[in-house]
Amino acid sequence: MQRRVRTRAIAVVSALGLTGVLGGCGVGGGSSEVTLRLVAADYGTGKADSSEKYWAGLAERYESEHPDVKIDVSVYSWNDVDRKVKEMVDAGDPPDMAQIGAYADYAAKDMLYKAGDLLSIPVQADFVSQLSTAGEVNSVQYGMPFASSTRVLFYNKELFDKAGITPPRTWDELAADAEALKAEGVKYPYALPLGPEEAQAETMQWLLSGGGGYTDITGIYSVDSAPNVETFAWLKDELVGKGLTGPVAPGKLDRADAFEAFAAGDVGMLNGHPSLMEMAKKKGVEFGMVPTPGAEGESEATLGVADWMMAFNKNGNRDQVGDFLDFVYSEENVLEFSREYDLLPVTNSASRAMAASDRDKELKPFLDQLPTSELYPVGNTSWAAVNAAVKKQIGKAVAPGGSPAGVLGGLQATATRAENVE
């Protein structure tokens, strides 16, 4: 369902902390009014905390200083926003800016401005380095990170105390803890959400903890690599096969349902991002957080996730768009958005401010993971097809009678075909 915010030219400093130099010209002067259209995703859980409010306030502040620029923001749910933008593009009427989940397809079709043609140098340089790099296609940045998060292992302190166990650092310790939790009657000793909602996230978290990933160090898909096959064979044999992942088959368990079960006190441990903290606190669940366990010790890498801002070049307005985005990415605005939705800042300046602030201390475990986080290969236009295939197929790898090598081999074939189409 569309939410529409009519804003009046907000001098926004983006979540990346960039302040307008390149785009600073041409906004305040002249007699003709420019309307910039922005389509954005809703990070709220309802009307009270809808992203509409954030963008409306931002737009109002910007317009007060830029009377010749109006910002017209349409906010959609995550279920609809990417499709809405695609429909606008397919109709030949793209917005000036879109804040959505992926940018690579549009960049590959030469529909986007380069970040360096929009943002002032200080603003572009302020992006967290791995997020900035993830926004590149052929070493040129088109995607501007807007929000980010990492994953840590959440555990239920009460259930752990009752079972007499401590948080795990290795896979073997995790399996032993899960056995102890199962013996105490815990419904989901370890919740393993490999259902279609967000299977790609849980999958990548485990692949990284086993020393693998979707791609190798050169960026080539390596879904069926030996470390990846070993990781899923361990999951199948040591967790799922021993009844340590709960009554719902991992391939049927969605991330949202796993989070709800944790908040209900039915999960011993699971991988989670910052929003799970608020869910658990509201239900009175006392939880702890530790880095993701790895095969031999604490995982050397964790999953990082980013959402993206992009600017379409069809309508022109480059200077006005750049000036607005410099405002969007100011430290103040990035911090405001990150704190409102329990997300990590995408700029170094806002990250430093958050790390130094007592009010943000609960996000510190996630901030600590950011420097070693790895993101999906979002710069590949093939990722959309691979992502969809992972969501549909990966649960079969740990199912009774399933073949980790066979399923991962099939996903590798999908990745290879998708790459060859590019």
Query: Which of 9-18, 30-39, 294-303, 342-351 is predicted least confidently?
Result: 9-18
Q: Which of 31-35, 76-80, 83-87, 369-373 has the lowest mean pLDDT?
A: 31-35
Whole domain around residue 90: which residue ranges? Answer: 3-149+306-372
Residue at which a domain ends, from 350, 372, 394:
372
Burial of 238 (0-12, 13-18, 19+ CB in 10 A): middle
26 falls within a domain: yes
pLDDT > 90: percent of the chain: 78
Residue 297 counted as domain residue: no
Per-residue pLDDT band at 422 (split at 50, 70, 90): low
Whether 363 and 269 map to the same domain: the answer is no
- Domain membership of residue 145 (yes or no) is yes
**Across all residues in the chain, what is the average pLDDT?**
90
Asked if residues 41 and 51 have their Cβ atoms less than 8 Å apart, the reply is: yes
Mean local confidence (pLDDT), 335-345 = 92
Q: At residue 92, does pLDDT exceed 80?
A: yes
Q: What are phi and psi of 218, to 5 degrees?
A: -90, -5
Residue with tokens 């999906």: 376
Average pLDDT over residues 278-307: 93
63 close to 73: Cβ distance less than 8 angstroms: no
Domain CATH for 237? 3.40.190.10
- The kind and range of the H/E element at 348 are helix 348-355
Report the pLDDT averaged over residues 74-100. Answer: 93
Tell me, yes or no, whether 279 lies in a domain: yes
More confident residue, 19 or 292: 292
DSSP category for residue 36: E
358: pLDDT strictly greater than 60: yes
Of 15-29, 97-111, 185-199, where does mean pLDDT reach its minimum?
15-29
Same-domain status, 127 and 46: yes
Per-residue confidence band for 381, with pLDDT thresholds at 50, 70 and 90: confident
Count of domains forming the chain: 2
What pLDDT sits at residue 371? Answer: 80
Shortest CA distance to 373 belongs to which of 299, 312, 302? 302
Smallest Cα–Cα separation from 222: which of 210, 238, 234?
Answer: 210
Same domain, 186 and 225: yes
Residue 377 maps to a domain: no
Neighbour count for residue 280 (Cβ, 10 Å): 21
User: Do 28 and 164 share a domain, yes or no?
Assistant: no
- Which of helix, strand or coil describes residue 70? strand
- Percentage with pLDDT > 70 across the chain: 92
Query: Confidence class of residue 9 from pLDDT cuts 50, 70 and 90?
Result: very low
Contacts of residue 405, defined as CB under 8 A and 6 or more positions apart, other chains included, come to 224, 229, 233
How far CA 411 is from CA of 90, 228, 244, 247, 395, in Å, comes to 29, 12, 26, 26, 12
Q: What is the mean pLDDT of residues 75-104?
A: 93
Residues 228 and 188 in one domain: yes
Last residue of a domain, one of 372, 391, 406: 372
In sequence order, what are the beta bridge partners of 283? none
Same domain, 183 and 36: no
Q: Is 249 found in the same domain as 181?
A: yes
What DSSP string runs through 225-239?
-HHHHHHHHHIIIII
- Given its phi and psi angles, is residue 86 left (phi above 0), alpha (psi -120 to 50 degrees) or beta? alpha
Q: What is the pLDDT of residues 194-222, one digit of tens each?
A: 998 889 999 999 999 999 999 998 889 99
pLDDT value of residue 374 = 92
Q: Are residue 46 and residue 120 in the same domain, yes or no?
A: yes
Length of the chain, in residues: 422
Q: Looking at the structure, do residues 139 and 218 belong to the same domain, yes or no? A: no
- Which tokens sit at 115? 């970040």
**299 occurs within a structural domain:** no
Binned at pLDDT 50, 70 and 90, residue 238 comes out as very high
| In a shared domain, residues 136 and 187 | no
Residue range 295-317, pLDDT digits in tens: 999 998 999 999 999 999 999 99
User: Does residue 157 sit in the same domain as residue 138?
Assistant: no
Mean pLDDT, range 121-142, rounded to an integer? 93
Asked whether residue 141 falls in the same domain as residue 165, the answer is no
80 within a domain of the structure (yes/no): yes
pLDDT of residue 229 exceeding 70? yes
The confidence score (pLDDT) of residue 370 equals: 85
Instruction: Say if 129 falls within a structural domain.
Output: yes
